[in-house]
């Protein structure tokens, strides 16, 4: 069990990094990586949402999607509605959490700010839930995988935003300025993370 958890942790953060090796969650990776400060806010929100959604999606998987129901005399399995259920429930879940946060923890609500509603339908969040189902992980393992994937996302985002802050001061040839050099940097960063492959 503990061995398995270690494999999940290292695997999700470094080897199969969500952004740099699975290419999930590219939109916020490029969108909110211009400043380290916003990247930190986004990272916090992603870790929070992915942990929560992985837990709830694992529960839904176990108690709804894996069960058979009887409706008008026919046996129905809801497995084919997996993606639809996941994305809608995640979106609703984040909304509810946001409302509750605003009431009970204004500082946390302020810190997460705009990023919380921004990632309700992020593919990294959905991807974590989907990958958990595919790998057949249990509830605890799913939650750990969700958290570690989000930490991996945060790691990539923080590294990349720091690089971009430095890039702003570098002399870049005119055709490569802006997004072009950012994408090249992201590619090199992804190649660096390839060095971790085979670790798990």
The residue ranges that bind other proteins (CB under 8 A) are 71, 74, 76, 78, 80-81, 84-85, 88-89, 92, 95-96, 99-100, 102-104, 169
The answer to whether the beta carbons of residues 150 and 157 sit under 8 Å apart is no
Beta carbon nearer to other proteins, 102 or 177 = 102
Beta carbon nearer to other proteins, 63 or 80 = 80
Q: In this structure, what are the phi and psi dihedrals at residue 18, rounded to the nearest 5 degrees?
A: -55, -45
The answer to whether the beta carbons of residues 128 and 111 sit under 8 Å apart is no
In DSSP terms, 180 is beta-bridged to none
State in angstroms the smallest separation of the CB of 9 from other proteins. Answer: 32
SS3 of residue 74 by DSSP: strand
Beta carbon nearer to other proteins, 1 or 103 = 103
Beta carbon nearer to other proteins, 67 or 197 = 67
In DSSP terms, 68 is beta-bridged to 77
State in angstroms the smallest separation of the CB of 162 from other proteins. Answer: 17
State in angstroms the smallest separation of the CB of 90 from other proteins. Answer: 10
Q: What is the CA radius of gyration of the chain?
A: 19
């Amino acid at each position: 069990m503990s061995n398995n958890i270690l494999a999940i942790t290292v695997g999700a953060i470094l080897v199969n990094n969500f952004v740099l090796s699975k290419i999930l969650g590219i939109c916020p990776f490029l969108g909110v990586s211009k400043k380290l400060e916003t990247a930190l806010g986004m990272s916090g929100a992603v870790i929070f949402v992915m942990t929560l959604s992985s837990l709830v999606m694992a529960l839904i998987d176990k108690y709804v999607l894996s069960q058979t129901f009887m409706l008008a005399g026919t046996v129905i399995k809801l497995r084919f509605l997996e993606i639809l259920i996941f994305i809608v429930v995640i979106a609703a879940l984040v909304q509810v959490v946001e409302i509750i946060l605003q009431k009970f923890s204004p500082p946390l609500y302020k810190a997460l700010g705009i990023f919380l509603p921004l990632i309700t339908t992020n593919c990294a969040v959905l991807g974590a839930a989907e990958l958990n189902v595919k790998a057949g992980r249990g509830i605890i393992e799913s939650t750990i995988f969700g958290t570690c994937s989000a930490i991996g996302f945060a790691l990539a985002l923080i590294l990349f935003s720091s690089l971009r802050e430095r890039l702003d001061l570098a002399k870049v040839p005119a055709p490569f300025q802006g997004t072009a050099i950012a994408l090249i940097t992201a590619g090199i960063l992804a190649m660096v993370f390839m060095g971790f492959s085979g670790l798990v």
